Amino acid sequence: MKLLLSIARMIDTCNEWVGRVAQWLIVALVLVFIYESVMRKGFSAPQIWFTEVSYFLFGYYILFGSAYTFLHGGHVSIDLFSERLPEKWRHRLAIACLIGFTLVFSFAMIKGGLPIAINSWQAGELGHSFWRPPIAHFRSVIPAAFLLIFLQGVSFLIKHIAALRGEQS
Amino acid sequence: MTDTLLLLFVALITIGALFLGHSVALTFGGLGIILGLIFVGPAVLPIAVTKTYSVMVSFPLIAIPLFIFMAYILECSGVAQRMFNGIRDLVAPIPGGLAIAVTIVCTVFAASTGIIGASIVSMGVLAGPYLLENKYDKRLTVGTIMAGGTLGILIPPSMLLIVLGAVAGISVGQLFIGAIIPGLLLSLLYVIYIFVICCRNPALGPPVAPEDMDVLRVRLVRGMISVTPPVLLMLTVLGSIFFGIATPSEAGAIGAFAAIILMVCYGQFNMKNMRYATTATIKTSCMVMFIIVGVNIFSAVFMAMGCGKTLGSLFEALGNQWLFFAMVMLLIYLLGMIIDWTAILMLLVPIFFPIAKDVYGVDPFWFGMMVAINLQVSFLSPPFGYALFFMKSLQLPGVTLGDIYRGSLPFIALQVVGLIIVALFPQTVTFLTDLAFAQ
Amino acid sequence: KQKVIKWRVQDTFAAGIALSWSGEILARTINDIVRTENYRLEIEYHYGSELFPMAETFEAARTGALDAAIGWPGFLKGLNSALVLFGSFPNSYTPEDFAIWYYYGGGRQLADEVYGKYNMKPFAAGGGGIEGGLWSNVKVTKPEDFKGLKIRCPGFSEDILTMLGATTMAISPDEIYLAMDRGVVDAAEFSFPAGDVSISLHEVADYLIVPAWWQTAMITLLAVNMDSYNKLPDELKPLLEYATKVSYIMSFAKWEYSNIDAIETFTKAGTKITKLEDETIEELERLTVQLAEQEAGKNPDFLKVAKSQYNFLKGYGQWRSHSKPYGQGKVHKYWPNFVDENPQFPWITDKRDNAYFGIFETAGN
Ligand code: NA
Ligand code: NA
């Protein structure tokens, strides 16, 4: 259990840092929009990369921020009934939900997302705009981010099991 | 019949699963995958992945984190506090004055964007804590913000009306104009309600006590001074969308940028505040976006299962126009609890609109407006309205999910009143369109 | 006992917009006629975005997540630009040209070859005519008028407009109305007139700039996942092909017929229908050729298909020039005295009627 708990802590630290980096992407997003607005309206010189770069920043931001949000309990839940359960049952229910929903969901997203990403790398898939950037990296965001969510689910799982057995995390 | 049973089964399972208290987004996602594997097959995996990808490449959704960022910057730099102090000075003697002001700001917000996530979360961040500090009843506070925020999908511009127009074959312009009076009517109902209950029980939304009030002139001057810069910012941002100078996403970015400049002007620009704002923004944005992802996946699975496609024949047999109408409204409302509004429109409109038109001779335009108003109700209604989730995620001090649910109830009642008024007096939707499309 | 084979199929086009008509007709025709004593093919038809996002529909058919995709294959541009040549190309074929080239001019074999590389079996399944035009709030007639405009358009027209100094924006169909209304874009193209009406574009634009040089046809393809196709009993395969031919001609007729009503709607709404100058059309044609040469230099598949298409157009063009001024471009000047002053087209108002006469369906089977 000690080993497992230290793994859980490692996962938490990892997602903490991913989140702390990802949180600044919003500033980049604002700057890209401002730059485009100034260039388009001020100099009639819109940037051909603008739309796709904003997709990239936005996509990276919301996907890579998600495990971090999960770590900090930011994903909203309907806890009306579960919070009235005795503590032991609360942990048991949480374990069941983590396995049944979070792990199933994130595993499916990794399994479904990997072939799409790999195929995109192999085919050298390009964006549709005149800029035509390679987008394989962007296709890879989903399996990568859901791997982090999966790991975060595992970390919570370990902590709930430890709590059930009366061990401190 | 088996399809109806399947639908019922799925609805019950979903409601049960969500009440287990796990993250809503992950529950929707996980449940979508499980139901998909059982009823749809392995195709559910690429469906889920590409649905998520389409959220990542949706330009309108980029507005959500940008507006949230703007709100958190205004909040942590104290600009929001100042602004609401100013508003309080201006509305001091009016019972419920602050909540009324919030409703009015929400109405202006609604006339600028069509994305409810942006307005509910921004107003929640900006006004929520302030109303609570000023001893406003917490249920009234959250109810006001959520109801005001959902106006965004009814008052034009509105994505919902655009999609409805295309699916039902109705003019979008006509829907936009038709929605103005119902939207303003709801806004007015909210204001009247807040005023009346705060008059009857001032504890719900206490006006500033006369002995604490400065003389009118001092108050007005001070109020104007503190209100002007942030209100100017908001008006610039929302106005730039209204007059077509910027898309909502661009306006959100400009708003966030301008908010940072205000922050610098008030001497609040520092690493601590920026870190606070970016941390809060990523958590709130991911929460909102992930609910959208989860619900999107679930809705796609729902469509793939073919749920409800045979419901049409049941409705044709109802025989009575008002019974048919009531059943449609009830069904839209119930589906609104578990699937996305776009899925509802795609699922139901092709079934109901021809029946409404051919069998019952209902005016499709009026019927469309009723659908839009009703969908708006479902955003706010417990247990699974989007608005409720967004509100809860803000974790306002002392506000529980129970408060949010109860806070929404009077406003849902007001929305139903609005729905009935529009049902009984179709002029409310046709008056302006007749005027505009007279030639 | 008849064995039923079920296919899950998605359209690239959403419900309600007229563009989904070829998918609807095809699904109905397949369900009606693709059957023998032993087997029956049943299509579970979904509108665009119901299961997969519109842009991912063909990808889903390719990977087997769908049994087949139906719709405009322009979304495959990122995968291989040659695939798009079977959907539309600027300044190019009409639906009649395409059918001739496809069925008799070697197009079908080329489609099999190129789509086969990506694990798909293609069938032309809908022949849409030339698009309505460019919806604009700025009057455009000369090449320089494009400079600095913000325009919504997809596919290869994006490249040509960029060459002319315009900014192009990819905006999903849902958002065009707002983007035009709020001035986020100056101009936008969407579809043929009936499609444009379905998203109310005439309400937010002053001008309709014709002709629609960027899309002289919109061919919809049924692309069947190769494994699903191979599993289909051989006796059903020719029937499936039959069904696609029915939907090609029936969707063509329905789309074109409904344009009468659409143009009437534009006229009533006060749309100023403006023609591009002849030199502009010539300049656009020149740029298209330049683009085709560029793309052919980069992509051998593109070269192969485009060469066949251009060769056909060149050969057939001779005959077309003799038939001038008749053909689809002909507008009559004199009418016999029994022609109505304002002809009425009753069934246009009931868009659900697609003049389809089912064989088994009507017998209540
Ligand atoms: Na709105
Ligand atoms: Na088009």
| Cβ-defined contact of C178 to B162 (cutoff 8 Å) | yes
Instruction: Look at residue B322 and give its three-state secondary structure.
Output: helix
Residue C195's pLDDT is 87
* Average pLDDT over every residue of C293-310: 95
Residues of chain C numbered 120-149 and touching chain A (CB < 8 Å): 148
Q: What is the largest CA-CA distance in chain B?
A: 71
Average the pLDDT over C318-342 and give the result: 84
Average pLDDT, chain A: 90
Q: In the predicted model, what is the mean pLDDT of residues B384-410?
A: 89
Mean pLDDT for the stretch of residues B122-138: 89
- All structural domains of chain A with their residue ranges: 2-164
**Is A125 in Cβ contact with C78 (below 8 Å)?**
yes
What is the C-alpha to C-alpha distance for residues A54 and B250, in angstroms, rounded to an integer? 11
Closest alpha carbon to C252 in C365, C102, C46, C110 = C102
Mean pLDDT value of segment C263-273: 91
Q: Which of C153, A47, C175 is nearest to B247 (CA)?
A: C175
Residue from B214, B251, B209 nearest B233 by CA: B251
Q: With contact defined as beta carbons under 8 Å apart, do C134 and C154 qualify?
A: no
- Give the ligand whose atoms come closest to the C-alpha of residue B113: 1
Cα A24 to Cα A72: distance, rounded to the nearest angstrom: 17
Residue C296 identity (one-letter amino acid): A
Higher pLDDT pick, C206 / A83: C206
CB contact under 8 A, A55 and B19: no
Angle between the B138-150 and B386-393 helix axes, to the nearest 10 degrees? Answer: 130
- Beta carbons within 8 Å of C202's beta carbon, 6+ residues apart: C135, C196, C208, C265, C266, C269, C271
CA C71 to chain centre: 8
Look at residue C9 and tell me whether its pLDDT is greater than 80.
Answer: yes
Q: How far is B58 from chain A (nearest CA, A)?
A: 8
Q: Which two tokens stand for residue C33?
A: 């006629």
Q: What are the pLDDT digits (tens) for A1-36?
A: 889 999 999 999 999 999 999 999 999 999 999 998
What is the whole-number distance in angstroms between the Cα of residue B166 and the centre of ligand 2?
16
Average pLDDT of chain B, as a whole number: 84
Yes or no, beta carbons of B46 and C63 under 8 Å apart: yes
Structure tokens at B180: 């103005």
As a whole-number percent, the residues of chain C with pLDDT over 90 amount to 61
Q: Answer yes or no: are the C-beta atoms of C280 and C141 closer than 8 Å.
A: yes
Distance CA C312, CA C106 (A): 9
Scanning C133-208, the segments in alpha helix (DSSP H) are 157-163, 173-181, 193-198
pLDDT: which is higher, B216 or C181: C181
C295–A contact, CB cutoff 8 A = no
Please choose, from the candidates C46, C94, C89, the residue with its C-alpha nearest in 3D space to the C-alpha of residue C71.
Answer: C46
First to last CA, chain C: 15
Closest chain A residue to C156, measured at CA: A130
How many Cβ pairs closer than 8 A exist between chain B and C? Answer: 108
pLDDT for residue C364: 37
Buried/exposed code over C187-199 (b: 16+ C-beta within 10 A; e: otherwise):
bbbbbbbbbbbbb
Question: Nearest CA to C54 among C66, C37, C36, C42?
Answer: C66
Distance C161 CA to ligand 2 centre (A): 14
Å from B43 to nearest chain C CA? 5
Dist CA B83 CA B91 (whole Å) = 12
Which candidate, B400, B29, B10, B140, places its Cα nearest to that of A81?
B400
Q: Residues within 5 Å of ion ligand 1 by Cβ?
A: B 110, 114, 152, 155, 158
**Could you give the C-alpha distances from A131 to A135, C75, C165, C168, C169, in angstroms and in order?**
11, 16, 14, 11, 12
- Who wins on pLDDT, A128 or B284? B284
Query: What is the least distance, in Å, from the CA of B390 to any CA of chain A?
Result: 8
The domain containing residue B223 runs over which residues? 3-436
- Tracing tokens 């298209």 back to the chain, one arrives at C288
Q: Does B427 have pLDDT greater than 90?
A: no
**Which chain C residues are closer than 8 Å to A119 by Cβ?**
63
What's the whole-number mean pLDDT along residues A42-62?
A: 86
pLDDT at position B104 is 87
pLDDT score, position B309:
60
Residue to test with chain B: of C50, C204, C261, most B Cβ within 10 A: C50
Q: Do C15 and B346 touch (CB under 8 A)?
A: yes
* Residue C225 bridge partners (DSSP): C120
Q: Name the closest ligand to CA C218.
A: 2
Q: What confidence tier does C154 reach under pLDDT thresholds 50, 70, 90?
A: confident
What pLDDT does C294 receive? Answer: 93
Q: What percent of chain B lies above the pLDDT cut of 70?
A: 93
Chain A touched by B278 (CB under 8 Å): yes
d(C-alpha B349, C-alpha B368), whole Å? 9
Say if CB C151 and CB C177 are below 8 A apart. Answer: no
**Closest ligand relative to B108 C-alpha:** 1
When pLDDT is cut at 50, 70 and 90, the band that residue C362 belongs to is: very low
pLDDT confidence band for B161 (50 / 70 / 90): confident
Pairing outcome for strands C167-169 and C150-152: parallel
CA of C97 to the centre of ligand 2 (A): 19
Q: How would you classify residue B174: left for phi > 0, otherwise alpha for psi between -120 and 50, otherwise beta?
A: alpha
Amino acid sitting at position B58: S
Whether the bond into C346 is cis, omega within 30 of 0: no
pLDDT at C353 over 60: no
pLDDT in tens, B217-271: 777 777 777 777 777 777 777 777 767 677 778 888 988 898 898 889 888 889 9
Measured torsion, CA atoms of residues C114, C117, C119, C121, in degrees rounded to the nearest 10: 30
Amino acid occupying residue B359:
V
Of residues B301 and B162, more confidence is placed in B301
User: Which of A54, A77, A106, A149 best probes binding to B when mutated, by most B CB atoms within 10 angstroms?
Assistant: A77
β-pairing, C39-46 vs C120-128, is unpaired
Strands C218-225 and C68-71: antiparallel
Instruction: Please count the structural domains in chain B.
Output: 1
Pairwise CB contact (< 8 Å): C158 & A40: no
* Omega before residue A46 within 30° of 0, cis: no
Strand order in the sheet with C3-11: C39-46, C3-11, C68-71, C218-225, C120-128
Question: Taking residues B327-333, what's their average pLDDT?
Answer: 83
**Element spanning C218, H or E:** strand C218-225
Q: What is the mean pLDDT of residues C317-333?
A: 84
Tens digits of residue pLDDT in B371-396: 888 888 888 888 878 888 889 888 88
Chains that touch B (3 or more CB pairs under 8 A): A, C
Give the integer Cα–Cα distance in Å for C254 and C257: 5
Expressed in angstroms, the distance from the first to the final Cα of chain B is: 48
Q: Which chains touch A (3 or more CB pairs under 8 A)?
A: B, C
Cα C339 to Cα A14, B264, C212, C344, C346, distances in angstroms: 78, 75, 30, 11, 16
Q: How many CB pairs under 8 A join A and B?
A: 184
Please check whether residue C167 touches A, CB under 8 A.
Answer: yes
pLDDT in tens, B304-325: 887 656 666 666 666 677 788 8
DSSP C121: E
CB contact under 8 Å between A46 and C167, yes or no, is yes
